[in-house]
Amino acid sequence: EAGVTQFPSHSVIEKGQTVTLRCDPISGHDNLYWYRRVMGKEIKFLLHFVKESKQDESGMPNNRFLAERTGGTYSTLKVQPAELEDSGVYFCASSHAGATEAFFGQGTRLTVV
Amino acid sequence: GESVGLHLPTLSVQEGDNSIINCAYSNSASDYFIWYKQESGKGPQFIIDIRSNMDKRQGQRVTVLLNKTVKHLSLQIAATQPGDSAVYFCAETVSGTYKYIFGTGTRLKVLA
């Protein structure tokens, strides 16, 4: 069974540009989560999808971040425009409906210069 | 690796010794706890979990202890091996919320 996969693994962009991160969850997992770790801080929750619906987006830092999960399969996280403080590692995770254990992808390292 | 620039608490242990990694959690309502291991360039990998109705759970070479009175969690690794070198995170959640709160992490270095 393939795990959670994220694309790209690394991205370096200039301040003000747009970046889109992609996450493919484990097949059949209804729950999909985005987390991020900015430098020097702990991993923090961004949002949670159940299928295509946003269940909890309380962790999204501001309106420069937009997450989508059209069709309830893969998800994208767009940052527009990117700022220096957005640099960090963005993790995606997924889990079965009703399951608490989440499986994480390898992360996307975003560097904004 | 991903942790460049991060100043994590570090635990150095000799190969073959036991390791104990501690974590203080924040929410007294949390009822499910997980320890994750993160190796360089990889995402957090599940190690072991424990529910709040237990105070100890054992896996293969790992034991998690939960003290709800002081909101403390620990991970014990027996006979630590070089492959155990990684950053270890505890995470807490309230069942049904699906939102994990992660600790800051501890870097484990295994010395040959």
Instruction: Return the structure tokens found at A68.
Output: 């989508």
- pLDDT tens by residue, B4-39: 345 689 999 999 999 999 999 989 999 999 999 999
Nearest-neighbour CA in chain B from A24: distance (Å): 14
- pLDDT tens by residue, A46-60: 999 999 999 999 999
- pLDDT tens by residue, B75-110: 999 999 999 999 999 999 998 788 899 998 999 999
**Contacting residues of B for A100, CB less than 8 Å apart:** 32, 49, 93, 95, 98
Assess whether pLDDT exceeds 70 at residue B67: yes
Q: Rounded to whole angstroms, what are the CA distances from A89 to A32, A61, A64?
A: 17, 15, 17
Contact B2/A95, CB-based, under 8 Å? no
Q: Does A91 contact B at CB distance below 8 Å?
A: yes
- pLDDT tens by residue, A9-40: 999 999 999 999 999 999 999 999 999 999 87
Label each residue of chain A as H, E or C: CCCCEEECCEEEECCCCCEEEEEECCCCCCEEEEEEEECCCCCEEEEEEECCEEEECCCCCCCCEEEECHHHCCEEEEECCCCHHHCEEEEEEEECCCCCCCEECCCEEEEEC
Which among B27, B99, B102, B106 is the top mutation candidate for probing chain A, defined by the most A β-carbons within 10 Å of its own β-carbon? B99
Nearest-neighbour CA in chain B from A39: distance (Å): 6
Q: Does B24 contact A at CB distance below 8 Å?
A: no
Count the Cβ atoms, other than its own, within 10 Å of residue B83. Answer: 9
**Contacting residues of A for B46, CB less than 8 Å apart:** 101, 103
Largest CA distance in chain B: 43
pLDDT tier, A77 (very low <50, low <70, confident <90, very high otherwise): very high
